[in-house]
Amino acid sequence: LEFNSDSPCIWTKGLTRMRTPVRHGEGKFVVPDPPLLDKFASNQQIVVRYVNPKDVYPSSSDTLLPYPICPNASMRNIAGVCDPTGLVFGLMPHPEANHSKWLGATWTREEEPTDWVGEGMAVFVNGVNYVKKHL
């Protein structure tokens, strides 16, 4: 996944890329009126997209990527969007399924980490930090 650094989404501040399990079955992001996506893009509401992990950051594209890179043929490779305030965030992949490194698909083939916090935890840390600062 690749995150839009210009998005107002409080959940993804400071994030660039993340490996995250996909568990949404047949779900995919579609809109009834494709020009609506231009509005989302101009408002920076397209927060997360599927990208080829081999491509250099940033590499988000409107050109549909093949399976399994974009596992569900979502319009513009969209994996997540937010409302204009950045508080409401909809995401199809599951960062909670990568809250610890031992949940990652490749951890047994990598050097044993000294910090077991997984990439997905950053989404939730951002949410907690926002609440602490603004409530």
Q: Where are the domains of the chain?
A: 2-95
In the chain, what percentage of residues exceed pLDDT 70?
98
| Cβ proximity of 49 and 1 under 8 Å | yes
When pLDDT is averaged across residues 58-86 and rounded to a whole number, the result is 93
Residue 109 confidence class, pLDDT cut points 50, 70, 90: confident
- Compare 42 and 103 and report the one with higher pLDDT: 42
Helices and strands in the chain, H and E counts: 2, 4
Given a contact cutoff of 8 angstroms between Cβ atoms, the answer to whether 80 and 11 are in contact is no
Amino acid (1-letter code) at residue 55: D
Mean pLDDT of 86-93: 96
pLDDT computed for residue 11 by the predictor = 98
**Measured distance CA(42)–CA(44) in Å, rounded:** 5
pTM of the model: 0.88
Quickly state the pLDDT bin for 113 (edges 50, 70, 90): low
pLDDT at residue 105 above 80?
A: no
Q: Model confidence over 8-36: pLDDT tens digits?
A: 999 999 999 998 888 777 788 999 999 99
Check residues 94 and 134 and name the one with the higher pLDDT: 134
Residue 116 tokens read as 């077991």
